[in-house]
Structure 1
Amino acid sequence: MSADLPDYYFRVRENGAAVFRVDTENRQRRIEMDQIAVINIKNGEVKPHGDRELSKADIARIEDWMAQRSALLAQRDIDDIHRAVDYLNITTQWVQSKASDEQLEDVTDALLLAMHDLRSVLVRKKADRLLDKS
């Protein structure tokens, strides 16, 4: 099993990760994880843990992980937006066919304000893109 383990483990946190070096080459043949750094994915900051100095291999692996993680998070963002479009369509169908007056009273103002806000931002962004093209 130890031959299949990666050299690094990234414990995902809300804004990045804690980076561990994985070691299985010890006398007890146990898996040891030694924290070597903390990553902030939003600002690209990599802080060595404690008094550590990161090797070029450490930095290269961390930068590779950060690029992969950023791509994954970007893909998740767009997937969430596509799901939101589906939810809007499902909500429309629910309003039209199933919602009671009490349910509509409960959600109408919040939905109208959210949709108005979204529409305003979308229209402004679309206008900006059209102006940039000309």
Structure 2
Amino acid sequence: MTPEDMAALHARCFTTPAPWSARDFAGLATDPLCFLLTEPQGFLLGRAVAGEAELLTLAVLPEARRQGIGARLVAGFLNAARKRQAEMAFLEVSAENTPAIALYQQQGFAQSGCRRGYYAASGGRRIDGLIMSRTVGPAPECSK
């Protein structure tokens, strides 16, 4: 999936937060800490570093939702995080995105914080960003 493909799909899925551009995706694609998981009708971009994994964004075509694509992508994210020795995973989601919140809760995430008024919506309205997290695996031992 090209950065242009990701940007087009992201634009079909998001208004708040604002969709990312092809340039945004191209920049993340060059980051060795980032990883991309794809399905024919969706994708997930994650990053893992220093024992933590962050789900940066998840996008599934609106007409393909509720078919297990998002759940497979999140499960793949958790597996990729384990392989990268992450012990914790986290993400941020709009407090108004109830379908995504339900998906993340089904995958074992729970709210661990809130960024009040984090997202700008139309008409000057502000929307909270929920921080959700979960354990991924055992903590790796540090070298002495």
What TM-score comes out, normalization by structure 2 length? 0.28
Higher strand share: 2
Larger proportion of helix: 1
Q: TM-score, normalised by structure 1?
A: 0.30
